[in-house]
Amino acid sequence: MKKICFCKSCNSNSLKIIAKDVFSFGFTFDIVQCEKCKLRFRNIELDLEETQKIYSDNYFLVEQKDYFFNQADFKKKVFEERMKLVQKYSQKGDLLDLGSAVGVFLEVAKNFGWNETGIEISSLASAEAKNKGLNSLNRDFKNLDQLEKIFDVITLWDVVDHSEKPLELLKEVRKIVKPNGYIFVETTVIDSLMFQGAEMLYDFSGNLIKKPFLKGYPVHHSNYYSENSLRNDIEKAGFEVKESVRETFGNQIFAGNVFSKFLFKTVEAFSKIFHKEIVCILVARAK
């Protein structure tokens, strides 16, 4: 593990601490924000061994079991809507899904008539996709040009901020997009009612009510993007952002007791009214 002292997007050394000594899945780090470009990130960089530790089989089978396995029907519906968004911009062709997990989106893409390829770092998840007859490669995101293939569309659903160096990943992706091809980048964003409400609670309680706030900053995410800071990195990597789509999570995906489910649903309803939904998808074309 390495401490990060410069902004990962603009290299400024002017960093403000948002939360100190956050403990998540065995790691301790500070959440910092660049004073210049406002990018928020954890101030440690994990090495390969540490990354593999947090994405062990346990991640898929225990921690995120509901997300990857039990919500497949719900996820499928979400992905069918996303596929319609993809087809608003691109003719059918070669599609790469980065971080394709157990292959739910790959299956949807295939059913829509696309030539699907997935890249998944977890051998367990990748094998699950392969068993369904899907084209899933079990590898990391480095040296993507070694695939010796370029794509009409590359999708990054909830994956960009799981990379240790999201900007580098986007630059890597840029190398394998066809001229005028598109990328679709989705992540949860901190300029959302859910994050801002939890942060207000954290600040006003003198850091006593920290659980809702810290839930949004797991060690699995290296950057904690806002719509603006995500747009900055996408443009720096050589793309032009064409559209921003905001979505709520949908309560099915949220595990918790009745009260927290109610609270979650209420905040989601208000986020829609104020257009501050937690999920942001940026559509961008290669320049």
Binding site for Zn ion (CB under 5 A): 7, 9-10, 12, 34, 36-37, 39
How many Å apart are CA 194 and CA 272, to the nearest integer?
A: 11
For residues 40 and 82, which CB has a smaller minimum distance to Zn ion in the complex? 40
Strand partners, 177: 151
Cβ 40 to Zn ion shortest distance, Å: 10
Cβ 10 to Zn ion shortest distance, Å: 3
Cβ 226 to Zn ion shortest distance, Å: 12
For residues 41 and 151, which CB has a smaller minimum distance to Zn ion in the complex? 41
How many Å apart are CA 217 and CA 214, to the nearest integer?
A: 5
How many Å apart are CA 209 and CA 193, to the nearest integer?
A: 17
Give the Cα-Cα-Cα angle 145, 150, 153 (nearest 5 degrees): 120
Cβ 166 to Zn ion shortest distance, Å: 13
For residues 228 and 252, which CB has a smaller minimum distance to Zn ion in the complex? 228
Q: What is the CA radius of gyration of the chain?
A: 18
Cβ 189 to Zn ion shortest distance, Å: 16
For residues 37 and 245, which CB has a smaller minimum distance to Zn ion in the complex? 37
For residues 35 and 140, which CB has a smaller minimum distance to Zn ion in the complex? 35
How many Å apart are CA 155 and CA 57, to the nearest integer?
A: 23
H-helix or E-strand spanning residue 138: strand 136-138
How many Å apart are CA 153 and CA 284, to the nearest integer?
A: 10
